[in-house]
Structure 1
Amino acid sequence: MNILLTGGTGFIGHRLMSHLRPHHQVTVLSRNPNKVYQRLGHDIRAIASLDELENLDRFDAVINLAGEPIADKRWSQEQKDRICQSRWQLTRQLVEKLTAGRQPPRVMISGSAVGFYGRQGDSLVDEDSNPHPEFSHEVCARWEQLAQAAESEHTRVCRIRLGVVLGAEGGALKKMLPGYRFGLGGPIGSGKQYMSWIHIEDVVNLILFLLEHEECSGPFNATSPEPVTNEHFSQSLARVLSKPHFARVPAWAMRLLFGEMADLLLTGQRVMPVRLQQAGFHFRYPTLDKALKETLNTPQGR
């Protein structure tokens, strides 16, 4: 396939490239093509702007993973705008280019997140569950709506609602590890809130699965079939690292440090990958212990 990829130098995109490169021709869209070459090598094409393309007819597939990290900074109004526009503007531009041609890509796989559902307590959540209206839902709902506009008789659209992605080289786990390795790890708030997680290799494999299975379209929960509470996750991580588990970060401290953004960590969703499993996708790392052991025993930058 000839594939256009956004977010190719990010946590997921970098790992995905190692699987795409041997079998497909990939063009990476990035504001900094030099960064693409430094991170991914000079054997791929990098473009700085969609303005370099009249349309997307030359591509068989588009994979859209770009976006400002949602949990990296306190949510000022300026940061909220960056989070929204980094997703919405690019997705809108991609769809405009895609629909401008006569032979558009056969598939567009576009990122989203389980934040689409908002806070859900301990209820089991599938792709048809009603969302709770809040900022994370607003971001994801508009993001998905813009991507879905590419759907036509020629192009199918898959929207992947990512949970917490586990990998040694980036994401939430990399930020958590220093504290746990010093024996200071522990649950956040009550610890009863659910975490829907997924191993990064399963993220890559499900993207490849959706590329190849032409019957797949619509929303897909990109989470393992074993969501766990924050306390369970914390205990498992400490056990795998052979570290004590006694610290706890109170909810008030999280809100003092991070404001509204703390709600992402203090509330959660118990998300199930129903449509992926119905489509026949099999998880390589369905259980948390297996995922953590593999992640923590693998050299970074694999």
Structure 2
Amino acid sequence: MRIVIAGSSGYLGKPLMQALEGLGEGHDLVRLVRHRPDEENEILWDPYRGPLDPQILDGVDAVVNLCGVNVGGQRWNAAYKKRIETSRVIPTKVLAEAVAAAKVPVMVNASAAGWYGDRADVEVDESTPAAADFLGRLSLKWESATAPAEESGARVVRLRTGHVLGPDSLLLDRFVPFWKWFLGGRFGSGRQYLPWISLRDWVGAAVTAIEDDSIHGPVNMVGPNPATNREFTKALGAAVHRPTPWIIPGWAVKIVAGEAATEILRGAKIKPGVLQAHGYEYQDETLFEALRYALHD
């Protein structure tokens, strides 16, 4: 397959590129980059300056879009929330229109588990409507931006990704030092769900989504066994061999993280319905397994 990837230099893009290159199935990979191209497989683009020339996608079998600034990159304010949105919606719209014009048969686009918002103990799957909070509305706009590709007849897959646990994970880089200093504890009540998936399972599931013609629409990129924040706290403590006795009040988290605290104070019990229906075999079925892998234990 000839595959064009946007966002290939990110935390998810790099291992996905490596996995596709290592399959030995003749994948021809092209990277859309926003810096001066340094390699033969790189093509310069700037989605904020206008449409992508459809000729760039001539003969392409699939387009993968992983663009978007990190939701937890800094404290949220109006300007950063706007940046979070534009960095996702605009590149998606530009690529979807180019996919439609070039008649590319497959588009695999990033999305987020934030689609579901706070659902307490209610299990949700890919058929559940978007939440009405910021992340839910953002995810709806993000996924809706793929419409031109879908309307042209392309098979569109939208990857609703939870917290990805792997080496150099931003979430773990922030938490592990506190746990190692015996400061680990649950956030708020600890009953809120924290959608997770190991990095290697995210990559494996993404490759499956690219190659399996029967997969389309939203795909929940989460592990098979949902975990609460309390369970995450204990599992991370076990992984780093530390007790986790503390309770960190929700108000304290909000003081430090602001509105971005919703990422760890609210969550949903998400079922990976599509992956399970297609028989995806997880390498890390439990949160503890994912953490051991992420921490090289």
TM-score w.r.t. length of structure 1:
0.90
Matches within 5 A, 1:120-159: 120-152=119-151, 154-159=153-158
Shift of 1:148: 3.4
Q: Report the secondary structure of 1:236's partner residue.
A: helix
- CA distance in structure 1 between the aligned counterparts of 2:217 and 2:122, rounded to whole angstroms: 22
Deviation for aligned residue 1:27: 1.4
Deviations 1:54-99 (A, max 9, x none): 3422311111111011122222110111000000110111012112
1:77-156 correspondence to structure 2 within 5 Å: 77-101=78-102, 104-152=103-151, 154-156=153-155
Q: Which residue is 1:182 aligned to? A: 181
Task: Tell me the distance in 2 between the aligned counterparts of 1:44 and 1:249.
Answer: 47
d(CA) in 2 for partners of 1:155, 1:52 = 17
Deviation at 1:53, TM superposition (A): 3.3
Are 1:207 and 2:206 an aligned pair? Answer: yes
Partner amino acid, structure 1, of 2:141: R
5 Å matches for 1:1-302? 1-22=1-22, 23=24, 24-33=27-36, 42=39, 44-49=41-46, 53-55=53-55, 56-101=57-102, 104-152=103-151, 154-297=153-296
Note the residue ranges of structure 1 that are not aligned, 5 or more in a row.
Answer: none
Gaps of 5+ in 2: none
What's the RMSD between the two structures over aligned residues? 1.8
Number of matched pairs: 290
Give 1:280 deviation, angstroms.
Answer: 1.9
- Counterpart Cα distance in 1 of 2:123 and 2:59: 41
Q: Distance in 1 between matches of 2:171 and 2:147?
A: 28
Task: Measure the CA separation in 1 of the matches of 2:270 and 2:36.
Answer: 36
Letter in 2 for 1:294: Y
Secondary structure of residue in 1 paired with 2:76: coil
- In the aligned structure 2, how far is the partner of 1:121 from the partner of 1:221? 17
Checking the alignment, whether the CA contact within 8 Å between 2:5 and 2:29 is kept in structure 1 is: yes
Q: Report SS of the residue matched to 2:220.
A: strand
Assess if the C-alpha contact under 8 Å between 1:74 and 1:259 holds in 2: yes
Do the aligned residues in 1 keep the contact of 2:52 with 2:95 (CA within 8 Å)?
Answer: no
**Contact 2:54/2:99, CA 8 A, preserved across alignment:** no
C-alpha contact 2:131 2:137 (8 A) present in aligned 1? no
The code of the aligned residue for 2:11 comes to F
Q: Distance between the aligned counterparts of 2:177 and 2:221, measured in 1? A: 26
